[in-house]
Structure 1
Amino acid sequence: MGEQVSKQATIVGMLWTGGTPKAKEVEENMASYFNVLQGFLLYFYGSTVGAGPTLSSNLHQSVMQVVNSSFNLMKDSVSSYGSRSKDQKVAVPVLVGKVWEACSGLKKAPATNIAAIGRAMTQVAVSMKDVLREMRELKPDSGGQEDDQQTSGGVAGDGDGNEDDDDDVGDMGNDLSPEEMKVAELAMEVVSDLLLVIKELIRSITGLLKMEKADTSGSFVDSLEKLLKSSQVIGAQIDELGACLYPPQEVSTMEAALKKISSSLNGIESEVEDLKGSTDTFVKACSGLRGSIKQLELVLSCCSVGQLEEQLTNTSLSH
């Protein structure tokens, strides 16, 4: 049906190519266009039978782009009739192109619940990768050595040491102590292991296409939606975890985030097991993630950042 709408838009463009069309031609063209558009919408609503919230949302977004671009084309077509403005008439072909683009986008819309949810999970993974990249930009505090270099540089340069003042101000407060850096490194391991879990999760549910086709009660789609929701909860907690790594690190918030991640992981494992989609690689990925979470929890629960600093100071004095 998208091709039919695209063809109808082409006819509109041709109507305005040779000059101003007659009123009757514009009227008949609009009637034909809206008849095709109505058929397109009926076809769309029929295609949403059995679609879960995620697939329905994807389809609705694609369809609305076709509808909105079509209405803009029709509105401009009517406005252009009788107008002496060349700019207004030139806009018609541009709007025809917008309809073509929207109709072409329909082919890229997911056709199954698995495809739609897989895409949504991929977006979660992309967001996690962004957080991981930001985590890797964190750096340890260089301590007094950097201060000495800056001092000597300032004297030798007779004031030239101020050239990078803006950069210094931008980095101020982002350098981590050794204890904080250890927490950040463990957090990076958690995110890396989470990315592997999401990858294996997508691979697991992709292999369940036959179950989606045989699903008549909607329970399979419900399970997929639960998996997506749990993945999104984890994604939100990773955002929280990444934000907490900047000094002063918020230990209690990180602990709460890890608990929510563990709880969501339990739900994911349970749903995948119920769907008979669990694989050895998925189980191994989940096990590795649990190990990383426990390591970070151990550091956070045994010693707060302040306690770690105190212990390191006492250890240095004893030697």
Structure 2
Amino acid sequence: MEELEKERLNQTFNSYFKTFHETFQYLLDQTPYSSLDKVSWEEVVKMGDQVYKQATIIFGMFWTEEKTELKAVEENMVTYFNTVQDLLLLSRGCTVGAGPTLSSYISLSLQKVFDAVGCSIKLLAICVSSYGSCNKDLKLDVLRLVGAVCASFEVVCSDLKKTPATNITAIGKEMKQFAGSVKKVLCEMKELKPASSILMDEASDGGPPITEAGLQGEDDDLSPEEMKIAQSAIGVVSETTVVIEELIRSIIGLLDQEKSDNNGSFVYSLEKLLKLCQEIDGEIFELKACLYPPQDVTDIKEALENISRIISEMLAVVESFSTFLATFFQACRGLTSSIKQMETELDNYCTSDIESKMQNVAVSNERERERERGDSC
């Protein structure tokens, strides 16, 4: 009798597993049609909760020491497979209208769910094969696995709730990461320090400057002129963080515009802004690298020019939106002003540096002539 029940349960499992696998493979191989109905992420989250709930019910039947009635096990196993299949079909529609960034978040979250589903089905196969068994060691192993699978389900379903539900929230989340990266660079730049007061001129013995402590200056210590450039760069980076933060605040207020977008142009514009944030993050990193001695004014100017170009492109994209916060435009003007001021200081630095070098050459020539006159006497 027990063998017949196990065989029947095994047949039911294999039948529904085959259907599930075929559905999963079909959806995996097909690209969602644009005509597919849009499914809200909230529906996917609710269905994920149902999958978790049903998993705890079916595995709870194998958790007990007493053998659960075959009919009840069959019915709940069928319900579990059907719920998982519903989640598969829903996930198909939740990517409609999603840009690359949102699609990436959705795919990652769903992959975690389906990984948990795959583990649960493997465990279900073990539970079915051990149905009615009196082997205590096997039962203990199953109990441990059931606990682990249910715990993983709880985690992934909780993660579903944290997944961005719109293109705006997904892109805003990514932009916040770039804002954090720029702030980190700003903190590192503020750690740059000037060289200590020089007690002995380098030219007196041809060696490195000597500090007040009587030690050679550190390689990363900046001269007064270099420190001025670093301070200007800190101002530029500080203004850049304001621009990104205002950009995030602005796009979060455009949810209604995303809902009314029918041709995807709005999402494309958001993705473009995200790409520009990534570019400006890279330029800020380059700018920081240029500040360590010996500073290369040409490289610094190039980074500033690139930042200016990126801001201009941002403004061009933003103009396509029906509304945008005035604070963003103010932040852009503030950054542009800081860049122009720093470029002026760099030009002045170059002029002063040339004059200083020419003066040193003149002094050196004069000393050489005095030495020659002394030798002739």
* TM-score (norm: length of structure 2): 0.69
- Number of the residue aligned with 1:63: 110
Q: How does 1:203-218 map to 2 (within 5 A)?
A: 203-218=249-264
- Number of the residue aligned with 1:197: 243
Match 2:160 to one of 100, 106, 111: 106
- Number of the residue aligned with 1:159: none
Q: Is the 8 A contact 2:226 2:295 kept in 1?
A: yes
CA, structure 1 residues 297+21, in 2 after alignment: closer, same or farther (shift >3 Å)? farther
Q: Is the 8 A contact 2:225 2:349 kept in 1?
A: no
User: What secondary structure sits across from 1:173 in the alignment?
Assistant: coil
CA, structure 1 residues 266+148, in 2 after alignment: closer, same or farther (shift >3 Å)? closer
User: What secondary structure sits across from 2:213 in the alignment?
Assistant: helix
How far the C-alpha of 1:40 sits from its partner, in A, is: 1.0
1:241 aligns with 2:283: no
Mean CA deviation greater in 206-215 or 7-16: 7-16
CA distance in 1, matches of 2:301, 2:142: 60
How far the C-alpha of 1:303 sits from its partner, in A, is: 3.7
Q: What per-residue deviation string (whole Å, max 9, x for no partner) do you get for residues 135-193 of structure 1?
A: 11111111446844357xxxxxxxxxxxxxxxx9xx94222222222222111111111
User: What secondary structure sits across from 2:115 in the alignment?
Assistant: helix
CA, structure 1 residues 180+95, in 2 after alignment: closer, same or farther (shift >3 Å)? farther
- Number of the residue aligned with 2:92: 45
CA distance in 1, matches of 2:359, 2:222: 16
Q: How does 1:161-310 map to 2 (within 5 A)?
A: 172-303=218-349, 307=353, 310=356
CA root-mean-square deviation: 3.2
Match 1:54 to one of 101, 122, 125: 101
Q: What per-residue deviation string (whole Å, max 9, x for no partner) do you get for residues 18-38 of structure 1?
A: 25979x898876665443222
The number of residue pairs the alignment matches comes to: 296
CA distance in 1, matches of 2:243, 2:222: 28
CA, structure 1 residues 21+270, in 2 after alignment: closer, same or farther (shift >3 Å)? farther
CA distance in 1, matches of 2:126, 2:218: 57
- Number of the residue aligned with 1:96: 150
CA distance in 2, matches of 1:35, 1:305: 76
Q: Is the 8 A contact 2:196 2:212 kept in 1?
A: no
Q: Is the 8 A contact 2:185 2:285 kept in 1?
A: yes
CA distance in 2, matches of 1:200, 1:117: 14
CA, structure 1 residues 251+74, in 2 after alignment: closer, same or farther (shift >3 Å)? farther
CA distance in 2, matches of 1:280, 1:53: 28
Letter matched to residue 59 of structure 1: I
How far the C-alpha of 1:294 sits from its partner, in A, is: 1.6
User: What secondary structure sits across from 2:64 in the alignment?
Assistant: coil
How far the C-alpha of 1:275 sits from its partner, in A, is: 0.7
How far the C-alpha of 1:216 sits from its partner, in A, is: 0.6
User: What secondary structure sits across from 2:319 in the alignment?
Assistant: helix
* TM-score (norm: length of structure 1): 0.80
- Number of the residue aligned with 1:165: none
CA distance in 1, matches of 2:267, 2:238: 28
CA distance in 2, matches of 1:134, 1:254: 17
Q: Is the 8 A contact 2:185 2:288 kept in 1?
A: yes
CA distance in 2, matches of 1:247, 1:223: 39
The structure carrying a bigger helix percent of its residues is 1
How far the C-alpha of 1:66 sits from its partner, in A, is: 1.0
**More relative contact order, 1 or 2 (CA 8 Å, 6+ apart):** 1
Name which one, 1 or 2, has greater alpha-carbon Rg. 2
Mean CA deviation greater in 36-45 or 300-309: 300-309
Q: What per-residue deviation string (whole Å, max 9, x for no partner) do you get for residues 84-139 of structure 1?
A: 37567424312311111111111111111111111111111011111111111111
How far the C-alpha of 1:289 sits from its partner, in A, is: 0.3
Report sequence identity in percent.
45
Q: Which runs of 5+ in 2 are unaligned?
A: 1-46, 200-209, 364-377
CA, structure 1 residues 31+175, in 2 after alignment: closer, same or farther (shift >3 Å)? farther
Letter matched to residue 118 of structure 1: G
CA distance in 2, matches of 1:42, 1:137: 53
